[in-house]
Structure 1
Amino acid sequence: MGEALRIGTRGSQLALWQARWVQQSILEQWPGTTVELVIVKTQGDKILDVPLAQVGGKGLFVKEIEEALLDGRIDLAVHSMKDMPAALPEGLHIAAVPLRENPLDALISLRHASLADLPQGARVGTSSLRRGAQLLHQRPDLTIDPLRGNVDTRLKKLETTELDAIVLAAAGLTRLGLADRITAHIAPDIMLPAVGQGALCIEARNNDGATKQLLAALDHRPTHVAITAERAFLHRLEGGCQIPLAGHATLENDQLQLTGLVAELDGSRMVRATNRGAPDQAAALGRQLAETLLHRGAGEILERLQAHAR
């Protein structure tokens, strides 16, 4: 580590909010530390007119930042956990997972109070296959319109196009002070969140003991345990943005509960299950849930979707 601790981040408004939150948290824990932000442009920031599922999926928002971390241009990286691929590059690890924000998805509409209130054939904006599949599972009549861009861009499209509603992560809206734009939170039995949704990932080099020690104070054990289960589930299913896959874990009273699902793109079929266990078995719990889904038919869905992606 040099004289200043360098945090790598994307340049979007939300990414900068997250990086500044980590910066401030480090300064509170370690007064006198010099912490600066280094903005790194990722492939996902450059391709804005194509759905993520068509241009490579997970990793599009982290690869260049991880390269900067590996070659020493930055000392740590702050990502949205849901952007993280299931496997990390050799030499890097998740050093801390702070307290999770609201993990749910949020419906934003100018005229309708809830998902159930949307009229027949309503147009809903989202480029997430996970969100689209679960919306269509509940409401096969809906039309799903692709929607890319940062939070402000998506909110403006709701106002300037014929969309009846859009779906965004509640966490991003809350962090940006836009929680008042949320029309309704979508319950997880209707729309299960993405793996890691609402959580931050602070990534560092394996051989950087000083940074690892500094970041330990930012780690929130219940969130980290839940994320470990979710990411083990994701890893076993080799999930990316090309697959409608969801997974969400909670840790309460020292009991870990993980729910996961895999769906057809059109929502016509959904395989869903819940597993419970001890927090020190988080990774095993995630793998076990993945196996349960595979045996119940998720394997057929995944094979077909992966073949189609190729």
Structure 2
Amino acid sequence: MGAADSVPGVSGGTIAFITGIYERLITAITRLDPTAVFLLAGVHRREGRRRFYDRLLEMDVPFLLALGLGVVSAIVTVSRVMHAALQEAEALTFAFFFGLIAASAVVLYEHMAVDTPGRIAAAVAGFAIAFLVSGVTSGSDVAHTVPIIFVAGSIAIVAMILPGVSGAFFLVLFGQYEYLTGVLTSFVDGVLAVVVGDRAIGSLADAATTVFTFGLGAILGLFTIAHLIRWALDNYRVATLSFLVSLMVGALRLPVERVLDTDPTLAAGSVLPIVLAVAIGGGVVLLLDYFTDDLAY
């Protein structure tokens, strides 16, 4: 799930379906109760420790911790690779993203039906919002302020809840993906340097603030936006999917413009690698869909 969440166009929620843990994940998230922390006051007694332990099992916290550690470790690893790819081969990387996102929209298209005024409005709104936002993010330097990072984290968490929709895709849409993968890479390198004594811990302040802000936003999103989207799917499933798929289609403007910015002339020698990168990205999603065709999204 962490590897999938790190790549725009691939969903961690889809991986949860493939491995058969999706329903357990949703159930565990909805069972989390912050008031359980008050049980810590009694852990100095055997009965209190048993009560606290039973409450953790009831909320399936050991499962969430194991899953969370796996997700975080994969995100740290894969985001480093993606950041390096963006630095060394930006055009090819964004062409790869184009293939991922476009194929994801095609796969999800069969789950939507734009046949009512409400669904048409949702589809048009999704496309228009993404097309306009992606134009802004591709044509200028996007601010990386604390509020924007916080909001980005709260929205990106939907990848853990929605099969087919990628959290990294939203980061690309908001112009935060390349920045955040770079900050995460610098933060991890900095922590390792502090551990071996090569750097002072104070040098991590800026990167740590960004990582903490993003994580705080993700936690808040898990208990707000994720629940809101799940409600929308339960009550207006087709309209919600129409909005999300159209959002993905509209956002294709961003990788196209980033490729053109990097190679405006698209010389003959560069077209073939770009087409190949698009094909590889699309092929990854189509293969994933082929082998999971029997899953009820």
Tell me which interval the TM-score lies in, with the shorter structure as reference length: under 0.3
- Structure number with larger C-alpha Rg: 2
The TM-score with structure 1 as length reference comes to 0.27
Larger strand percent: 1
TM superposition score normalised by structure 2: 0.27
Higher helix share: 2
